[in-house]
Structure 1
Amino acid sequence: MSIGENIKKLRELHNLSQKELGEIAGVSDKAVSTWEKNEKSPRMGAIQKIADHFGILKSDIIENKNIVSTINEPQQTYGSDSVPMPLLGSIAAGVPIEMIPVKEMINVPREIADMYPDAFLVKVSGDSMNKVIPSGALALIDPTEEIKNGDIAAVSVNGYDATLKRFYKFQDGITLEPESYNPNITTQFFSSKEQEYNPIHLKGKLVWYMAPLDIKF
């Protein structure tokens, strides 16, 4: 079977529309239509996104074979070059990390996982650190790493979900500094006195981040 036929069969097996598959691959439904008609061939990046989403190999899509038999075969979801790590939900103050529900497991390069075996992923929301890490990215947070002045940390303020900020601790308080292109986002300072009723909880240090599989360029 051709690449287009394999993509169409894969889409139909999962009861997806061309628009839904396009969202997975980061393209329009018209692009998916041209693939399935064999008018154009998808780029390798799009094929990789589709393969990652369905837990199959890229070669399963591009090689001349029936995708149905591939789907029905047991798949090795996590290859030798990647390791599954937990993507956590809300990480609010006072909630132990081990009690936070795991939303799903996400593959990260084995080299990274080996360096930070106790780390977890969170999805970045908002533009307060978009000079460094874009909204929608998956940030790897290590709760065991020492957080020093100038490090980017997941910080929970007064019980709210953790936010990523550059952290500075001074004798009279703590500063949380954004790195944003949005001029409306400003530095926050919490004095030692203020922290008695507005506590700061450090959840871990940002050690790495990756783009989500469904990111659009």
Structure 2
Amino acid sequence: MGVADNIKKIREIFDVTQRELADIAGVTENAVSKWENGYAEPRMGAVEKIAACYGLKKRHIIEDGGMDMIDPLTKRPKQEISYPPGAIIPSPPRKAYAPLLGRVHAGDAKMPEILEDNISLPYEVWDRHREGYFLEVEGNCMSRVYPEGSFIFVDRRMEPKNGSIAVVSIDGDDYVMRRLYRGANTMILSPDSWDDSYEDIVITGDDGRIVKFEGVVVWFQAGKEME
């Protein structure tokens, strides 16, 4: 593996574009393209900037097989990694993407704000819930499990069980995320919050209200990890 392959491996491991790597190295995007295609090699100043940014040694960039010494999971030199006896080493994660459809209020029921974006998640999660979608959490009524600003991944095909955290629409307009409990004639949408001012939403068969399940929360991504 020469310089060209090392540069490609850096972009793969650290998930950066040619433009982003060019900004780090202080060169043009075209220069990075030439490095990767073997038409040119980075000057030492660019090598030093890249190495400093990612905690690498210059040899990891300029020597044959340099990036083979970097563990793709920890992004550290392999010889520096020490695992405890019996540890099961995870495979490097694959990414998938699901649509961010809006914001759901973790508080009083309200109409969700519609968004158009995509959020990354582990491939294995997406593969089990391929029709899933993301919602961004507003409010704190579920703060014990899903803090405000986090992204919840919702499987619309799953039927909620007692105790499941579900997204429901009420009367066709208002959406809310709560922990759901059902009896013979009663549905309780219960908060799970550090703030004890939130109360249960109790709906009985005599209320004449229409409740539609929009899915069960199966995974979440903390908002600050997306920055």
Q: TM-score by structure 2 length?
A: 0.56
Distance 1:213 1:182, change over 3 A: closer
Deviations 1:150-169 (A, max 9, x none): 10000122333421101111
Greater Cα radius of gyration, structure 1 or 2: 2
Identify the match of residue 179 of structure 2 among 166, 169, 187: 166
Q: Is the 8 A contact 2:101 2:115 kept in 1?
A: yes
Root-mean-square deviation over aligned CA pairs: 3.5
Per-residue deviation, 1:62:
9.4
Quick one: distance in 1 between partners of 2:136 and 2:160? 20
Q: Secondary structure at the match of 2:199?
A: coil
Where do 5+ consecutive residues of structure 1 fail to align? 1-50, 74-79
Corresponding residue of 1:135: 148
Query: How far did residue 66 of structure 1 move?
Result: 3.4
Instruction: Please name the residue that 1:68 is paired with.
Output: 28
Preserved contact between residue 86 and residue 102 of structure 1 (Cα < 8 Å): no
Q: Would the aligned equivalents of 2:167 and 2:178 in 1 still touch at CA under 8 Å? A: yes
Give the unaligned 5+ runs of structure 2.
1-13, 34-92
Number of equivalenced pairs: 150
Q: Secondary structure at the match of 2:138?
A: coil
Which among 125, 131, 134 is matched to residue 112 of structure 1? Answer: 125
Q: Does 1:189 align with 2:202?
A: yes
**Cα gap change, 1:158/1:112 in structure 2, threshold over 3 Å: closer, same or farther?**
same
1:86 aligns with 2:46: no
Cα distance in structure 2, aligned partners of 1:126 and 1:91: 9
Per the normalisation by structure 1, the TM-score is 0.59
Please point out which of 165, 186, 191 is paired with 1:152.
165
Q: Compared with structure 1, are the counterparts of its residues 215 and 161 closer, same or farther at alpha carbon in structure 2 (3 Å cutoff)?
A: farther
SS at match of 1:134: coil
